[in-house]
Amino acid sequence: MRKVGVAILGLGVVGGGTYKILTEHREMYRKAYGADITVEAVLELRKDRALALGVPESRIASSIAEICSNPDVDIVVEVMGGVEPAKTFVLAALNAGKSVVTSNKEMFCKYSYELERVAKHNRVGLYYEATCVGGVPVIRALLDNLQGNVITSLVGIVNGTTNYILSKMSGSGADYSEALKEAQRLGYAEANPTADVEGYDATYKLSILSSLAFHTKIPYTKIYREGITAVTPADIAYGKQLGYCLKLLAIGKNTERGIEVRVHPTFIRQNHPLASVNDSYNAVYITGDSVEDVMLYGRGAGAEPTGSAIVGDIIYCATHLQHNYSTFDNTEKASPSTKFVNNFESAYYIRISAEDKAGVLSKITSILSRNGISVAQIIQEEDKDPDGKVPIIVVTHVTHEHNINKAVQDINAGTGDYAAVSSVIRVYD
């Protein structure tokens, strides 16, 4: 029986879940995979956490050096989060000849080029399925299933916190701050929710996934980002009337014009498979030139779903003699030959607050037309809003981001004080 020793760095939610899965399933893994996988060490400053999980005191390490020099440790699991000291610890483990399994999307997205170089140099494994979308098998699908495709688009709901908040707002009509509070009460949102609600977390994941999908480094800094803090119940309600559902989408497209990568609130048709991904569920919808459409759906976060991805990587690492690395040129910066498109192609939803007088609509439509924007639908509400203004909703056909920006400026300036754009939301089609 092959002995495989694991060390876990950090016993928070995911580390605790991983410890629990490994210890409870030890006998099954012995039988099914011929590997005796044991947790030989943990690194956790809060000793009480480790003891509460049942970790024997003798296995609570006091430093990363102690773990690196422990000959019984083969695989180091890093589930601390944050860039430092996680990165320093992971590099130390790789240099000590340990394979690494990580769920740390921020660190991996920012430093994968360095980590992979060191892992290759030391001929050890570096696995990161748990960095993206919890237990959903998306990274291995890109590496080992869909790798014969030219992937043309990858669209995901990759953040559970924001999906919970938007589902809540959509279901009950709650406003953003109420829904955020509810998410915090249930443990779906952190006390400081910035990384989730401002879309940073989604950009880290999109950076990793789109780099794999498009075979070229997509730094997260190249990703257009817009969070959900400005989303209003009114827009969600108007979208519903139009047959749309509002989601924070992470969108990667590989088009003839170049690569488009963006994270923003997006209206999506209610009958699109992604529209029924609710609450803290996540999904990634991938389109390839031969596979057509594939959707991978499941729990995007949580102790055991993310633990499942980590343990999957541990068993993979323990049962494969040969390690494989990313199938793209993993560099610090994007390749000079990669062209990024900022002038996105999209349809748009525009809500305008206007005074209820003749000629407003014709002025607006003339501005849109002058900017080359073709209108798919206009709704002028009868009911005035609390300011005495009338909401006008415009949905455009596919056009360019720059045209929309110009049209919004023109409406705000050219129509004087009797009409102003309240919100612009991209529509995914």
Per CB under 8 A, 21 contacts a copy of itself: yes
User: Looking at beta carbons only, is 148 or 386 nearer to a copy of itself?
Assistant: 148
Q: Per-residue string for binding with a copy of itself, 382-421, x by CB under 8 A?
A: ----------------------------------------
- Assess whether 20 carries a catalytic annotation: no
Q: Please, what is the minimum distance in Å from the beta carbon of residue 225 to a copy of itself?
A: 28
Question: For residue 320, which phi and psi values (nearest 5 degrees)?
Answer: -110, 125
Helices 13-24 and 26-33: crossing angle in degrees, nearest 10, is 60
| DSSP states of 33-72 | HSEEEEEEEEE-S-HHHHHHHT--GGGEES-HHHHHT-TT
Pick from 44, 74, 78, 129 the residue near a copy of itself by CB under 8 A. 129
Choices 17-25, 222-230, 351-359, 384-392 (CB under 8 A): range interacting with a copy of itself: 17-25
Choices 95-103, 129-137, 231-239, 412-420 (CB under 8 A): range interacting with a copy of itself: 129-137
User: Is the peptide bond preceding residue 85 cis, with omega within 30 degrees of 0?
Assistant: yes
Half-sphere exposure of 233 (CA within 13 A, CB side): 11
Nearest C-alpha neighbor of 313 from the set 33, 125, 80, 83: 125
Pick from 47, 215, 269, 363 the residue near a copy of itself by CB under 8 A. 215
- CA dihedral of residues 394, 396, 402, 408 (deg, nearest 10): -10
Q: Per-residue string for binding with a copy of itself, 360-379, x by CB under 8 A?
A: --------------------
**CB atoms < 10 A from the CB of 110, how many?**
19
How many angstroms separate the CA atoms of 203 and 214, rounded?
16
Q: Please, what is the minimum distance in Å from the beta carbon of residue 148 to a copy of itself?
A: 3
Per CB under 8 A, 32 contacts a copy of itself: yes
How many angstroms separate the CA atoms of 260 and 250, rounded?
11
Q: Please, what is the minimum distance in Å from the beta carbon of residue 292 to a copy of itself?
A: 5
Q: Please, what is the minimum distance in Å from the beta carbon of residue 427 to a copy of itself?
A: 20
Q: Per-residue string for binding with a copy of itself, 282-321, x by CB under 8 A?
A: ------xxxxxxxxxxxx--x-xx-xxx-xx-xxx--xxx
Angle CA 224–226–231, to nearest 5: 155
How many angstroms separate the CA atoms of 98 and 42, rounded?
14
Q: Please, what is the minimum distance in Å from the beta carbon of residue 15 to a copy of itself?
A: 14
| Number of chain positions touching a copy of itself (CB under 8 A) | 55
**Which amino acid, 204?**
Y
Pick from 10, 16, 17, 156 the residue near a copy of itself by CB under 8 A. 17
How many angstroms separate the CA atoms of 151 and 212, rounded?
10
Helices within 215-268 (DSSP H only): 233-241
Question: For residue 62, which phi and psi values (nearest 5 degrees)?
Answer: -105, -10
User: Looking at beta carbons only, is 6 or 236 nearer to a copy of itself?
Assistant: 6
Residue with tokens 């210890």, as numbered in its chain = 23
User: Looking at beta carbons only, is 127 or 200 nearer to a copy of itself?
Assistant: 127
Per CB under 8 A, 8 contacts a copy of itself: no
DSSP 340: B
How many angstroms separate the CA atoms of 89 and 85, rounded?
6
Per CB under 8 A, 2 contacts a copy of itself: no
Q: Please, what is the minimum distance in Å from the beta carbon of residue 125 to a copy of itself?
A: 13
Beta-strand (E) ranges in 84-221? Answer: 99-102, 126-127, 151-157
Decide if 278 contacts 167 (C-beta within 8 A). Answer: yes
Q: Please, what is the minimum distance in Å from the beta carbon of residue 302 to a copy of itself?
A: 8
User: Looking at beta carbons only, is 291 or 398 nearer to a copy of itself?
Assistant: 291
Pick from 54, 71, 192, 322 the residue near a copy of itself by CB under 8 A. 322
Q: Please, what is the minimum distance in Å from the beta carbon of residue 407 to a copy of itself?
A: 36
How many angstroms separate the CA atoms of 292 and 257, rounded?
21
Decide: helix, strand or coil at residue 162: helix
Token pair recorded at residue 147: 């790798």
The residue annotated as part of the active site, out of 105, 110, 168, 205, is 205
Choices 49-57, 61-69, 148-156, 403-411 (CB under 8 A): range interacting with a copy of itself: 148-156
- Judged by CB under 8 A, the chain residues 252 through 281 that form the site for a copy of itself are 271, 273, 276
Q: Which residues are the active-site residues?
A: 205
Residues at the site binding a copy of itself, with contacts judged by CB under 8 A: 17, 21, 25, 28-29, 31-33, 129, 135-137, 140-141, 144-150, 215, 271, 273, 276, 288-299, 302, 304-305, 307-309, 311-312, 314-316, 319-322, 324, 327-328
